[in-house]
Amino acid sequence: MIIRTNLELKERYDTLKAGDCFIGLLSFKHLKHRAFVDLLERGVRLFPSALSQTLGRSKVAQALALRPWMLPHTLIIARRADLMQAINTYNQHGIGAVVTKEDHLQCGFGVHRWENTEAVYNQASYNAIAYPFVLQPFVENCTDIRVIVAGDYFEAYARENPNNFRMNLTVGGTSKPYSITDDQLAVCHTAMERGKFPYAHVDLLINEQGRCFLSEVALNGGMKGSRISREELDRIKKDILEKMAAS
């Protein structure tokens, strides 16, 4: 049995069995992770995968699973003791300015720049920062790339904002086409394979030395700078999921 809507999923939830499929994004508010565990334990197949849906909604989960492709010294800060240790680690490596990323905020609204880890600790001590969050070194003069990958289709564009270190187009950034290299595209594909993403909007950070790092990844994302239309991309994504469910 293949289920394609959350309404039908909820109606048939108790009768689902191993081999049944659900195509779509799970909408069980506040119960999503519990439902994922239950469905997977019962052998129900999910498209997109439960892992990709979990990672796409959580920056902390991405840092946990996809850290090998991220900036060196990317850390998950889940408690005050983690932050205290991070101060030691960052100072040992001569890392000054840092960035924190709130777990579930999108479009750059949860990204904050700090002078150093001590400044982060001072704010966290007064409960001004909610745990858990992601801590990363701040990279000067980097190139921000959005890559859309869906089956055989891919495109990339660079995002720029001379007035804000956040490059997101929703906060005033502009875009221009970008010729992605094979190595950069390989980073996208490898991270997607690890996270079981059937398709993705991947954000890459290219430093001054030309090294490529994963910034974030999502199943869906903004398309303001893309060549393909939302309708056409949605059609490609739907075809991918239907083929996966039929296999």
| The pLDDT of residue 102 | 95
Token pair 């850290």 is found at 67
SS (H, E, C) the chain: CEECCHHHHHHHHHHCCCCCEEECCCCCCCCHHHHHHHHHHCCCEEECCHHHHHHHHCHHHHHHHCHHHCCCCCEEECCHHHHHHHHHHHHHCCCCCEEEEECCCCCCCCEEEECCHHHHHHHHHCCCCCCCEEEEECCCCCEEEEEEEECCEEEEEEEECCCCCCCCHHHCCEEEECCCCHHHHHHHHHHHHHHCCCEEEEEEEECCCCCEEEEEEECCCCCCCCCCCHHHHHHHHHHHHHHHHHC
Cis peptide bond upstream of 132, omega within 30: yes
Q: Give the pLDDT confidence score for residue 175 in this predicted structure.
A: 84
Can you give the pLDDT at residue 130? 92
Residue type at 216?
E
pLDDT of residue 169: 67
Domains of the chain: 2-47 (no CATH), 72-137 (3.30.1490.20), 143-246 (3.30.470.20)
Q: In whole angstroms, what is the distance from residue 216 CA to residue 66 CA?
A: 9
Q: For residue 88, give the amino acid letter.
A: N
Local mean pLDDT, 10-residue blocks, the chain (247 residues): 96 96 93 95 98 97 98 97 97 97 85 96 90 96 95 95 76 85 97 98 96 97 91 97 95
Report the pLDDT value the prediction gives residue 164, as an integer from 0 to 100.
77
